[in-house]
Amino acid sequence: MTYEELIPIIRKLAIEAGAKIMEIYNSDNFDVKVKSDDSPVTEADEAADALISAGLRSAFPDMMLVTEEQAESHSAKGDTFLIVDPLDGTKEFVHRRGDFTVNIALVEKGVPTRGVVYAPARDRMFYTLADGSAVEETGALDPNVIGATTPIKVADSDNSALMVVASKSHRDQATDDYISKYQVKDSKSAGSSLKFCLVATGEADLYPRVGRTMEWDTAAGDAVLRGAGGKVVRFDDHSPLSYGKDGFANPFFIAYAPAVDLKKP
């Protein structure tokens, strides 16, 4: 597998999965089930997962694949793999708030190096090019025709007036306590992996996550942010966030533009 082969395929699969998700999102009603960890899952999650998984397995049959909706993949072991969250932000989807994404990423030696984040209800599409740089694609977002792309880059942050983004569904006192360590110009809430992308485009400087996440929630946004010059580190010791961990669970983390003067917990 080369990056030149990978990028058009994951871009196309993300857009096709987004179309399936929006069909269900715009329907009069849809079923919501509860998984063993009490998180919601809908027919949109399952339809998007089936499409993406089939596409990736067909194109890259020898590559380890981890996907949220296939529990058997969660016991896989390795530091190089494809990882998918077919519908990140299911709570946002269920409540029809729009901040949900399709996430597909490549992890190599524990580092997310390439990825795509597509927010179909927001018409926003972010991904890494073959060279690892990050772009936002605008226009029709046709799965078969790559449209105009704009390079994205993190902000040259002003530490006396930071823009902070935090979780819409999981914001808590611990998050607010950490944010209070900074001089904040404005704070906004967003769902799903869009928070990484807002840092990647310079629309925010800092995204702290003091709460449970899994690697499929973060890998694609992490790859896009790295491609835009940003960083993602552990909350506790500011070491780089690594992937391929046992069970694919993340520690708390901070995503940020490098000009931000990071504070200790």
At 136-185, the pLDDT tens digits run 999 999 999 999 999 999 999 999 999 999 987 777 899 999 999 999 99
> What mean pLDDT value characterizes the chain?
95
Q: Strand 184-190 and strand 149-151: pairing?
A: unpaired
| Listed residue (55, 78, 58) closest to 66, CA to CA | 78
Output b/e per residue, 169-204; b: 16+ Cβ within 10 A.
Answer: eeeeeebeebbeebeeeebeebbbbbbbbbbbbbbb
**85 annotated to bind ligand:** yes
**Do the beta carbons of residue 7 and residue 59 sit within 8 Å?**
no
Helices (H), the chain: 3-25, 43-59, 90-94, 173-179, 194-200, 215-227
**110 annotated to bind ligand:** no
**217 annotated to bind ligand:** yes
Q: Which domains does the chain have, with CATH numbers?
A: 3-151 (3.30.540.10), 162-256 (3.40.190.80)
The strands making up 184-190's β-sheet, listed across from edge to edge, are: 184-190, 162-167, 206-209, 253-256, 231-234
Q: Show Cβ contacts of residue 259 under 8 Å, excluding neighbours closer than 6 positions.
A: 154, 155, 156, 157, 159, 205
**31 annotated to bind ligand:** no
**88 annotated to bind ligand:** yes
| Listed residue (37, 31, 65) closest to 50, CA to CA | 65
Adjacent-strand bridge partners of 190: 167
Residue range 207-245, pLDDT digits in tens: 999 999 999 999 999 999 999 999 999 999 999 999 999
Which pLDDT belongs to residue 48? 97
Which pLDDT belongs to residue 33? 80
**162 annotated to bind ligand:** no
Residue 122, phi then psi, degrees to nearest 5: -105, -5
**211 annotated to bind ligand:** no
For residue 109, pLDDT over 70 is answered with yes
Pairwise CA distance, residues 168 & 172, whole Å? 10
